[in-house]
Chains A and B, each alone.
Chain A
Amino acid sequence: MATTTTATEAMSEKKSNRDLVQAKLAKRHRSETTFRAVGLGAILIGIALVFVLFGSILYKGVPAFWQATLHLEINFDPEVIDIDPRPVQQPGQSAAEHLDNVNAWIRGLRRARFDRLVQSAIAAEIPAAGDPSETRNVYGLVNANARYELAALVEADPSIIGTTVPVALVANENVDTWLKGNIDRDLPQRMQQLSPEQQEWADALYDRGVIEMNFASSIFTNVDSRSSGATAGLLGAMVGSVMMMLIVMTVAVPVGVMAAIYLEEFAPKNRLTDLIEVNINNLAAVPSIVFGLLGAAVFINFLGLPLSAPLVGGLVLSLMTLPTVIIASRAALRAVPPSIRQAALGIGASPTQAMFHHTLPLAVPGMLTGAIIGVAQALGETAPLLLIGMNAFVASVPSTPLDQASALPVQIYLWQGNENRNFFESRTAAAILVLLGVMITLNALAILMRHRFERRW
Chain B
Amino acid sequence: MNTFITLAIVLIALSFVYTWGAAASRRVASQTGEKLHSRPPYYGLYLVLWCAIPAAIIFIVYSLITPTIETVIIQSYFPQEVLNDAAELANQTRQVESIAGGFGMFGEPAPYQVQAAAALKNVEWIGKMALVALIAVAAVAGTLVARTRISPEFRARNRIETAIEMLLITCSAIAVLTTVGIVLSVLGEAVRFFTFVNPIDFFLGTSWNPRFSTTGHGGQGDFGLLPLLWGTLMITIIAMIVAVPIGLMAAVYLSEYAGPKFRFVAKPMLEVLAGIPTIVYGIFAAFTVGPFLSTMGDAVGLDINATSAFTAGIVMGIMIIPFVSSLSDDIISQVPQSLRDGSYGLGATRSETIRRVILPAALPGIVGAFLLAVSRAIGETMIVVLAAGNSPVLTANPFEAVSTVTVTIVNQLTGDTDFASPQSLVAFALGLTLFVITLCLNVVAIYIVRKYREQYE
User: B182-217 toward A: CB 8 Å interface, digit per residue (1/0)?
Assistant: 100110110000000000000000000000000000
Interface SS, B side: helix
Tell me, rounded to whole Å, the shortest Cβ–Cβ distance linking B290 to chain A.
Answer: 12
Contact A96 B266 (CB under 8 A): no
Nearest chain-A residue to B38 (Cβ)?
A350
Nearest chain-B residue to A416 (Cβ)?
B283
Chain A residues with Cβ below 8 Å from B375 are 285, 287
Chain B residues with Cβ below 8 Å from A387 are 409-410, 413-414, 427
Chain A residues with Cβ below 8 Å from B167 are 258
| Contact with B161, one of A40, A289, A352, A380 (Cβ below 8 angstroms) | A352
- By a beta-carbon cutoff of 8 Å, the part of chain A in contact with chain B is 21, 28-29, 31-32, 35-36, 38-43, 45-47, 49-50, 53, 56-57, 60, 94-97, 99-100, 254-256, 258-259, 261-263, 266-267, 276, 278-283, 285-291, 293-294, 296-298, 300-302, 307, 319, 322-323, 326, 350, 352, 356, 376-377, 379-383, 386-387, 389, 391-392, 409, 412-413, 416, 425, 428-429, 432, 435-436, 439, 443, 447
Report the bound CA distance from A100 to B368 in whole Å.
65
Contact B414 A262 (CB under 8 A): no
| Contact with A259, one of B168, B266, B321 (Cβ below 8 angstroms) | B168
Q: A50-B272, A289-B431 are in contact. List 16 more A-B contacts (CB 8 A).
A: A49-B321, A53-B273, A53-B281, A56-B287, A57-B283, A276-B175, A279-B179, A285-B375, A286-B182, A293-B427, A297-B188, A376-B275, A413-B382, A416-B286, A425-B287, A447-B268
Report the bound CA distance from A294 to B347 in whole Å.
57
Known: A39-B249, A60-B287, A94-B104. A50 touches B269 (CB 8 A): yes
Does B245 make an interface contact (CB < 8 A)? yes
Tell me, rounded to whole Å, the shortest Cβ–Cβ distance linking B177 to chain A.
Answer: 9
Known: A287-B380, A409-B277, A436-B276. A39 touches B283 (CB 8 A): no
User: B139-175 toward A: CB 8 Å interface, digit per residue (1/0)?
Assistant: 0000000000000000001000100110111011011
Known: A290-B435, A297-B186. A380 touches B277 (CB 8 A): yes
Does B350 make an interface contact (CB < 8 A)? yes
Contact B269 A35 (CB under 8 A): no
8 Å CB interface, B242-279 against A: 245-250, 252-254, 256-258, 266, 268-270, 272-273, 275-279
Chain A residues with Cβ below 8 Å from B179 are 279, 282-283
Report the bound CA distance from A32 to B179 in whole Å.
48
How many A-B contacts are there with CB distance less than 8 Å? Answer: 278
Does B386 make an interface contact (CB < 8 A)? yes
Nearest chain-A residue to B280 (Cβ)?
A432
Contact B253 A42 (CB under 8 A): yes
Contact A286 B438 (CB under 8 A): yes
Chain A residues with Cβ below 8 Å from B252 are 39
Contact B283 A429 (CB under 8 A): yes
Contact A262 B169 (CB under 8 A): yes
Nearest chain-B residue to A50 (Cβ)?
B272
| Contact with B257, one of A39, A254, A380, A409 (Cβ below 8 angstroms) | A39
Does B49 make an interface contact (CB < 8 A)? no
Tell me, rounded to whole Å, the shortest Cβ–Cβ distance linking A88 to chain B.
Answer: 16
